[in-house]
Amino acid sequence: MNVFSFLLDAENWAGPSGIWVRIGQHVFYSVASVLLAALVAIPLGVLIGHTRRGDAVVSGLSNAARAVPTLGLLVLVVTLMGSGYLPVVLALAVLAVPPVLVNTAAGFRGADPGAVHAGRALGMTGWQLVRQVELPLAVPLVVSGLRSASLQVVATATVAALAAAGGLGRFVVDGQNLGPGGYPQMFAGAVLVALLAVLVDLGLGGLGWALQRRTGRISREDRDHLATLQPGTA
């Protein structure tokens, strides 16, 4: 049996249930879930990291995320809301919140103390300190959290097929239902998910690397600049 036969058949790439459509559905679930998680986790992480309060919340959510099985969460959400896109996105967003929250809080908490103290000495308000000093320094860690969350979501979005939704998981589930003859279809689903995860990792990894270099340069420049100023000269 040629396990690549499903991928090499041009007919499997077209149509409403073709590979391209399934890839688009998988990307939609992943992007929507990570964006929803970011809308919740980043502001909360900024608040916790800036105020240095709420570490117990971060630790609790992180531990809870490890304890809750994604499949069980999906079954619960589907039971309460029915099948379709929304339950899948919500379940995956819950999975994506902890890494984004933990990294965002860590990024703001670990901002260069010299730059933060200099900003306070210049009379910056809390919002100005967040926007002009802490955020630029925390961006690489925030991106790292988004990267980790995205990889988890892309890999786990295959469970969408169990909620009567689409995505690359359909190939795994449908192939399994076919018995031994469905192995090429199952193999295709697994390979495509792996390739998508690699592409996401490379893209966000490159972005994080670029931001890390830029942030390091800005941190040194801003710290030197702020050190030359006296309160009231900003």
Mean pLDDT value of segment 93-104: 90
Lowest mean pLDDT: which of 9-23, 50-64, 135-149, 179-193?
50-64
Mean pLDDT value of segment 152-180: 83
Res. 219: pLDDT tops 60: no
pLDDT higher for 41 or 114? 41
Q: What pLDDT score was predicted for residue 188?
A: 92
- How much is the pTM? 0.83
Tell me the domains of the chain and their CATH numbers. 19-227 (1.10.3720.10)
Q: Is residue 100 within 8 Å of residue 73, measured between CB atoms?
A: no
Structure tokens at 98: 């902890």
pLDDT band at residue 43 under the 50/70/90 scheme = very high
Res. 225: pLDDT tops 60: no
Q: What pLDDT score was predicted for residue 66?
A: 66
Q: What pLDDT score was predicted for residue 220?
A: 58
Burial (CB < 10 A; 0-12, 13-18, 19+), residue 184, is buried
Res. 232: pLDDT tops 50: no
Q: What pLDDT score was predicted for residue 36?
A: 95
Res. 30: pLDDT tops 90: yes
Provide the Cα torsion 165, 166, 172, 173; round to 10°: 30
- Give every CB contact of residue 57 below 8 A, 6+ residues apart in sequence: 44, 48
Residue showing tokens 């396990």: 3
- The 10s digit of each residue's pLDDT in 57-80 is 777 777 776 667 776 777 777 777
pLDDT band at residue 223 under the 50/70/90 scheme = low
- The 10s digit of each residue's pLDDT in 109-165 is 887 777 777 777 777 777 777 777 788 888 888 999 999 999 989 988 887 777 767
Determine what percent of the chain falls in helix, strand and coil, rounding each to the nearest 5.
85, 0, 15
Q: How far is it, in rounded angstroms, from Cα 47 to Cα 69? A: 28
pLDDT band at residue 39 under the 50/70/90 scheme = very high
Q: How far is CA 183 from CA 3, 155, 168, in A?
A: 7, 19, 14
